[in-house]
Structure 1
Amino acid sequence: MMRQYELLERVAAYNPNVDEALLNRAYVYAMTKHGGQKRASGDPYFSHPLEVAAILTQMRLDDATIATALLHDTIEDTDATRAEIDQMFGPKIGKLVEGLTKIGRLAFVSQADKQGENLRKLLLAVAEDVRVLLVKLADRLHNMRTIHWVPVHKRGRIAQETMEVYAPLAGKMGIFWMREELEHLAFHVLHPEEAAFIEGKLADKRAEVGSILTDIETELSERLEASGIKAKVMGREKKPYSIFAKMQRKAINFDHLSDIYGFRILVDTTADCYAALGVVHTKWQSVPGRFKDHISTPKQNGYRSIHTTLVGPRKQRIELQIRSHEMHRLAEYGIAAHAFYKDGKMVRQGELARDSEAYSWLRQTIELLSDVDGGAAEFLEHTKLELFQDRVYCFTPRGKLIALPPGATPIDFAYQVHTDVGNTCTGCRINGHSRPLVTPLQSGDEVEIVCKEGAHPPSAWNALAVTGKARAAIRRANREQDRRKFARLGRQLYEAEVVRRADTDIPSLGVAAERLGHPDTESLAYAIGSSAMSASDALAALGFDAGEAPPSAAPANGVSVKIRGHGEDLPITFSPKHTTIPGDRIVGVLQPGEGVMVYPAGANEALAAVAADPHSWVDVSWDLSESSGTLYKAVVRVVAKNGSGVFADLAGALKASQSDLSELTVVMKTPDYRELNLHIEVRDAAHLSRVIEHLQRLDSVVEAARASH
């Protein structure tokens, strides 16, 4: 276990002004609090926070972060309190330690809920101070380094969480060395046989390659030096997990991989990067489609480098990365490389470069937390979606760059521009041409979103969206839309109940909401509309008699819920077993949480539902005051003579009556006649009558009538 003075020496090596008193207090306090606690390995528990602190010294972090690492488990695993830490180390360190404390005392429905809530708490703390994340990643790294001491039944869950959340989170923050090690350690736990196989293949490959790598390094170095470019050339081998992931992604075996070895060229300036690129492309043939300039277009986490693939000196493919030394430092340490240093000086109190690309991504992810109704598991799902994606770069018509994951559509683009743009999106133009909203976007596309005031996103978009931000916004908009529909239904149900009772003393819905303790009228209306309580129950709670159950037929006074169509203004659904069109006599059954199911009058299903619960009956009627433009399905039974041209006659009659045929079924055929079911689309009962009239006029039609509905 590292000694106290050794930790101080590590920090002093990069920060001569180290606050020794602070680190000494933290060291002694944490060691005392953890006392006789042991890790699964049998080592003193304090060895863990000490190793976490040691990892952070490699990243050259400030004194407060190192102290936080020493203290990070004290509130969670000892009798230490936030107040005590504030008193001894200051409120800033106290807040950092609290941000690292898991939520352990709540009852969660599932492991996903617990995992999601802890991630939510962590990211909220990270949004205020990124050092929380750096300590958490170092904490997870040491836990993974010692996972072989953890009981076998727990290893898989820890490794899966590491692979799905913490490794990609390190990558999003640009800390690539940590991402690679976390992936490596988790890979060996989750896929031990595959890991052993790939490592065996790599060993064979090294023996086969021999001195080729050194020879290529030498040739590249000499060629660059001859061109007056000061460069450092390094060969590198792909990590086992990276190889495994590519084999899975490309569906190829190990022997078909051509990029197991690559080379990195480090130069002094950005200009030298492009000069070096010119040298290698002039000398060796480049592979088409294998060039990426992440200097002019950095990745979302701030990563900058040129990637190219060449047919190299030995006529084999060589992957090259060309970057400056500063770019390399940022590539390895990411947000930690520039969060605490400016002009070679320590930035006190963990000031964060908040304009960095990595932090910009983090802020966008935190926006998902506003969707509190979605729950912790939903937040975890969205965050994983964001963590696992690379980027596609598109542009708005004004030239603003929008970064999206592969497979993203204009729907995702619209929500990335602004939530209101996504919610009112009705169409798009890609590179000046109208395209479907489900069109996958490509890097370089210019996307123009067409919006319409008052529009709202269909629920089906949730399955089409790729980004967590879009999915969260769509779900939130759908929930708000449903809430408005249920509230509108609740108002009508309350009004119908008041009219039915004909009691002038019954209070208005607003007064009722206040008396029943609801925050506003909308809340009580939603409760009634969603069947959390019935209008009758609400009146009973106000002291009015429950009254008789609603009648099982249309009321004499004509009070009913007015509907236009398929849930345009209300949570209305139509029975899938029946065809119902405007003008039919209809009844409604209130289904808890789903709204009103509409049936034809006399339908057995409706009668059975009302028999089970008389208060579920809802008097409904068509609102024919304004056409909604909705088409409804109806079935017409036709008996026609056999002969040529029958189907042409039927099609002509449908066209003349302005109806479309969606399906045709032959029910029966005899030598002289055939019976058909025509599934057509009509506006209302009057339109259906005109269709039947046109069919009956045909000489080939013996009988035409609406099929039983």
Structure 2
Amino acid sequence: MAEYNKNMSPEEEDRMIEEAYQDVLNAYLASNHRKKVEIIERAFRFAKSAHKGVRRRSGEPYILHPIAVAKIVISELGLGSTSICAALLHDVVEDTEFTKEDIEASFGSKIASIVEGLTKISGGIFGDKASLQAENFRKLLLSMSTDIRVVLIKMADRLHNMRTLGSMRPEKQYKIAGETLYVYAPLAHRLGLYKIKDELEDLAFKYEHPQKYAEIIAKVSESEKHREEIVEEFVGPVRKKLDAAGFKYEIKARVKSAYSIYNKMETKKIPFEEIYDIYAVRVIFENDDDTLERIHCWEIYTFFTDGHKVHPERLRDWTSTPKANGYRALHLTAMGPDGKWIEVQIRSRKMDEIAELGYAAHWKYKTGVHEDDTELDKWMNTIKDILANPEPNAIDFLDTIKLNLFSAEIYVFTPKGDLITLPAGSTVLDLAFAIHTQLGTHCIAGKINHRLVPISYKLDSGDQVEIITSDSQTPQPEWMQFCNSAKAQNRLRAILRKDRRHLTERGKKLYDEFLEREGVENTPDVMTRLLGNLHLPHKEDLYLMLANDEINLSAKQLKDLNKTRSSLLSKILRNPFSSKKQEERKTPVNRKVIYVLHPDEDKPNYKLDTCCQPIPGDDVLGFVDENEDVVVHKVSCPNAMRLKSSFGSRLVATKWGGVADRFLATISIDGIDRRGILEEITGVISRDIGVNMVGLTINARQEVFHCEITLQVDNSETVENICRSLKEKIKGVKFAKRIS
């Protein structure tokens, strides 16, 4: 299809639209679906007419977006005519004068209900207000629990928006990329849409860290030829065995995504060259008999073990116990020709489709009730459970959902041998709540292999667990720290909330009586400052402590309120925009242009938050508070991630406009200990590079030392130079990396 350009004539534009639609139709005709071309044709004509004259921000005709979403729906998700029609029509109800009833009259109730589900969650999950954000996310999950196709088409919509993010302003790019990493990528992961998850993460990474993205892609490309040679040498003997055994198969070399590589480099603080699992090998075999699928996987496994050393602790059998999103495969890790470990994934063609497309593939294979759907049903029930008892705080609500989206799984057994899937890190208490709320409410201990363990005990895959209960046991607030699953947390909060309600009411009455006695007006400002002084997050906590006689309020505390105020962003994640009122308001920050940071001025034109300590050279972005101050975070800061997702309208794209010798950075150094090595390290830093040291700790044990030095630096490049110089100039220094 031709690329859009702004000089196209109306005739050329129309021809381009028709070609794009024909691509969708060709992909549909090439699939295994029943050929319902007539209804797809009508949906396209309807959408084209409805969006006539409307353009996207890039200038191209709007109809190209629904067509692109429909193309993803058929080509990358493998869905059928109902989903293609819904994708073509997904913006009609929201953006034009047509209603759900119009869609239903023309295309039937199923397509109309999917379009309505998509309309409810349009405009991004996140509004400008946290309450709106949570409400929209609830709508997404409710829609998903009635028809999974709603969220699959929403994924296709988000993927196309990410692919065309370049036409948006920088601060919008940060908002949409942050939103994608915070919710859409984990949701894709949980639905088994690994291919889409990887692309969403890579695109978000590309816009958040453009320079690092380009560096990693360049390094992956540079090593491609060498990688191909290594993989071919590695799989050569296996190919011969597969051919001799009569397998029809294909072998693919898969490269780790740029975002995964970056994450590993950041988490482990290692350079690109030290990541050993950049590539993996995938063997996909054709299989006509489902009963022989697992046997064939293990047969191919033996072909690898015959000629290669296999890592004993990295065998993963997902063939007999699928992941909660339906993923099935046999994984092993073997030693490659260059002395680096290579992961091998063995899958049948059906396993591969489910691995790539998750529940989109299940939809395709589904004929009535399918055994693979049971795990999805369990997960959906957890989602419905959370929706039935939603968190009042929007950020807490999202975190509860994310806990359930992100978690890897473990598999444990009941005394009767029933298999239960739980998030990794789950405790005895999590298991009790997973089986039944009453069991969780009265749980006092667990029994594993005839050994009693406390409710806080973390379970491992394969444990057979008996829950011990007592009628006298009642849930306690401290149990929250023993719950690592969303279901248990949600149930426990609901129970505690009921118990707390009457105590909270009593505490509120005591608070109101106290203020009346002291002659102080009961205003939100008084409450906010009192909570700040007492270091309490919510007014309910104050009411509970008053009701339980844990604190007493005095007239002195009220006087002290006028002397102290909470710092601007110290509680930003609880109350993102609380600050003291200023008589003089600053000039509003223009969020549509890139805000230039000037650390070299006497009074910098920004503020730094304490959570991530960015320095010039780091990828940063700004949040504009209610006093129009720009507060700077690293793009990858976890707090920034939550704020990007929740308060996108307060974002401003930033860049460094200078450097200044006023920033602190800490480097970690490891190596072989010897006499005089510390003197050499400090010499390189202070004498050779001329940087001031403000803190130093060193520990040496059995000839190995670990040292952390805090430096006063001007930018990140200086820190990188110091780390490089230490490794190159000082014998015995093995690692030197920035840790803050």
Same fold (TM over 0.5): yes
User: Is 1:53 aligned with 2:4?
Assistant: no
Q: Give matches, 1:448-459, under 5 Å.
A: 448-459=466-477
User: Is 1:446 aligned with 2:464?
Assistant: yes
Contact persistence 2:444–2:454 (CA under 8 A): no
2:727 aligns with none
CA shift digits 1:14-42 (9 cap, x unpaired): 25643233222211221222222211111
1:627 aligns with none
CA shift digits 1:477-514 (9 cap, x unpaired): 11111124457x6xxxxxxxxxxxxxxxxxxxxxxxxx
Contact persistence 1:125–1:132 (CA under 8 A): yes
Q: 2:294 aligns with which of 270, 289, 308?
A: 270
Once residues 173 and 253 of structure 2 are traced to their aligned partners in structure 1, the CA distance between those partners, rounded to angstroms, is 34
Once residues 250 and 129 of structure 1 are traced to their aligned partners in structure 2, the CA distance between those partners, rounded to angstroms, is 40
Q: CA deviation at 1:474?
A: 1.8
Judged with a 3 Å threshold, the aligned counterparts in structure 2 of structure 1 residues 335 and 201 are, in CA distance, closer, same or farther, namely: same
Q: 1:22 aligns with which of 23, 36, 39?
A: 39
Q: 2:509 aligns with which of 531, 540, 543?
A: 531
User: Is 1:321 aligned with 2:345?
Assistant: yes
Once residues 19 and 44 of structure 1 are traced to their aligned partners in structure 2, the CA distance between those partners, rounded to angstroms, is 26
1:596 aligns with 547
Once residues 37 and 465 of structure 1 are traced to their aligned partners in structure 2, the CA distance between those partners, rounded to angstroms, is 50
Once residues 154 and 129 of structure 2 are traced to their aligned partners in structure 1, the CA distance between those partners, rounded to angstroms, is 19
2:162 aligns with 144
Gap runs ≥5 in structure 1:
490-528, 536-547, 550-575, 577-589, 612-709
1:135 aligns with 153
Q: CA deviation at 1:292?
A: 0.7
Once residues 318 and 266 of structure 2 are traced to their aligned partners in structure 1, the CA distance between those partners, rounded to angstroms, is 25
User: Is 1:241 aligned with 2:259?
Assistant: yes
Q: Give matches, 1:546-565, under 5 Å.
A: none
Please give the TM-score of this superposition, normalised by the length of structure 2.
0.64
User: Is 1:116 aligned with 2:134?
Assistant: yes
Contact persistence 1:262–1:318 (CA under 8 A): yes
Q: CA deviation at 1:230?
A: 4.2
User: Is 1:281 aligned with 2:259?
Assistant: no
Percent of aligned pairs sharing the same letter? 36
1:221 aligns with 239
2:335 aligns with 311
2:171 aligns with 153
Once residues 181 and 463 of structure 1 are traced to their aligned partners in structure 2, the CA distance between those partners, rounded to angstroms, is 35
1:662 aligns with none
Contact persistence 1:309–1:319 (CA under 8 A): yes
User: Is 1:462 aligned with 2:469?
Assistant: no
Once residues 61 and 271 of structure 2 are traced to their aligned partners in structure 1, the CA distance between those partners, rounded to angstroms, is 44
Deviating more after overlay: 15-24 vs 114-123: 15-24
Once residues 471 and 288 of structure 1 are traced to their aligned partners in structure 2, the CA distance between those partners, rounded to angstroms, is 36
CA shift digits 1:250-302 (9 cap, x unpaired): 44332222211211112233211111112211222211211111111211111
Q: 1:290 aligns with which of 314, 324, 340?
A: 314
- Matched residue SS, 1:531: helix
2:49 aligns with 32
2:669 aligns with none
2:667 aligns with none
Give, as a single letter, the amino acid of the residue that structure 2 aligns with 1:132: V
Q: 1:253 aligns with which of 251, 262, 271?
A: 271
Once residues 267 and 461 of structure 2 are traced to their aligned partners in structure 1, the CA distance between those partners, rounded to angstroms, is 20
Q: Give matches, 1:650-669, under 5 Å.
A: none
Deviating more after overlay: 34-43 vs 224-233: 224-233
Judged with a 3 Å threshold, the aligned counterparts in structure 2 of structure 1 residues 129 and 532 are, in CA distance, closer, same or farther, namely: farther
Give, as a single letter, the amino acid of the residue that structure 1 aligns with 2:547: V
Q: CA deviation at 1:85?
A: 1.7
Q: Give matches, 1:554-703, under 5 Å.
A: 595-596=546-547, 598=549
Once residues 599 and 192 of structure 1 are traced to their aligned partners in structure 2, the CA distance between those partners, rounded to angstroms, is 52
Once residues 390 and 33 of structure 2 are traced to their aligned partners in structure 1, the CA distance between those partners, rounded to angstroms, is 45
CA shift digits 1:506-548 (9 cap, x unpaired): xxxxxxxxxxxxxxxxxxxxxxx7439999xxxxxxxxxxxx9
Please give the TM-score of this superposition, normalised by the length of structure 1.
0.66
Contact persistence 1:303–1:331 (CA under 8 A): yes
Q: CA deviation at 1:131?
A: 0.8
Judged with a 3 Å threshold, the aligned counterparts in structure 2 of structure 1 residues 451 and 238 are, in CA distance, closer, same or farther, namely: same
- Name the larger-Rg structure: 1
User: Is 1:42 aligned with 2:66?
Assistant: no
Judged with a 3 Å threshold, the aligned counterparts in structure 2 of structure 1 residues 424 and 71 are, in CA distance, closer, same or farther, namely: same
Q: Give matches, 1:60-75, under 5 Å.
A: 60-75=78-93
Contact persistence 2:47–2:88 (CA under 8 A): yes
Give, as a single letter, the amino acid of the residue that structure 1 aligns with 2:509: S
Give the total of aligned pairs: 513
1:190 aligns with 208
Q: 1:100 aligns with which of 97, 118, 122?
A: 118
Judged with a 3 Å threshold, the aligned counterparts in structure 2 of structure 1 residues 283 and 610 are, in CA distance, closer, same or farther, namely: closer
Deviating more after overlay: 447-456 vs 175-184: 447-456
Contact persistence 1:236–1:262 (CA under 8 A): yes
Judged with a 3 Å threshold, the aligned counterparts in structure 2 of structure 1 residues 164 and 309 are, in CA distance, closer, same or farther, namely: same
Q: CA deviation at 1:78?
A: 2.0
- Matched residue SS, 2:283: strand
Judged with a 3 Å threshold, the aligned counterparts in structure 2 of structure 1 residues 63 and 442 are, in CA distance, closer, same or farther, namely: same
Judged with a 3 Å threshold, the aligned counterparts in structure 2 of structure 1 residues 599 and 437 are, in CA distance, closer, same or farther, namely: closer
Give, as a single letter, the amino acid of the residue that structure 2 aligns with 1:253: P
Q: CA deviation at 1:385?
A: 1.3
Judged with a 3 Å threshold, the aligned counterparts in structure 2 of structure 1 residues 36 and 532 are, in CA distance, closer, same or farther, namely: farther
Deviating more after overlay: 409-418 vs 52-61: 409-418
Q: CA deviation at 1:595?
A: 4.8
Contact persistence 1:287–1:310 (CA under 8 A): yes
User: Is 1:362 aligned with 2:384?
Assistant: no
User: Is 1:231 aligned with 2:231?
Assistant: no
Judged with a 3 Å threshold, the aligned counterparts in structure 2 of structure 1 residues 426 and 452 are, in CA distance, closer, same or farther, namely: same
- Matched residue SS, 1:339: helix
Gap runs ≥5 in structure 2:
1-15, 288-292, 518-533, 535-540, 560-740
- Matched residue SS, 1:394: strand
Judged with a 3 Å threshold, the aligned counterparts in structure 2 of structure 1 residues 533 and 33 are, in CA distance, closer, same or farther, namely: farther
Judged with a 3 Å threshold, the aligned counterparts in structure 2 of structure 1 residues 141 and 477 are, in CA distance, closer, same or farther, namely: same
Once residues 126 and 251 of structure 1 are traced to their aligned partners in structure 2, the CA distance between those partners, rounded to angstroms, is 38
State the structure with bigger RCO (CA 8 A, min sep 6), 1 or 2. Answer: 2
Contact persistence 1:531–1:593 (CA under 8 A): no
1:667 aligns with none
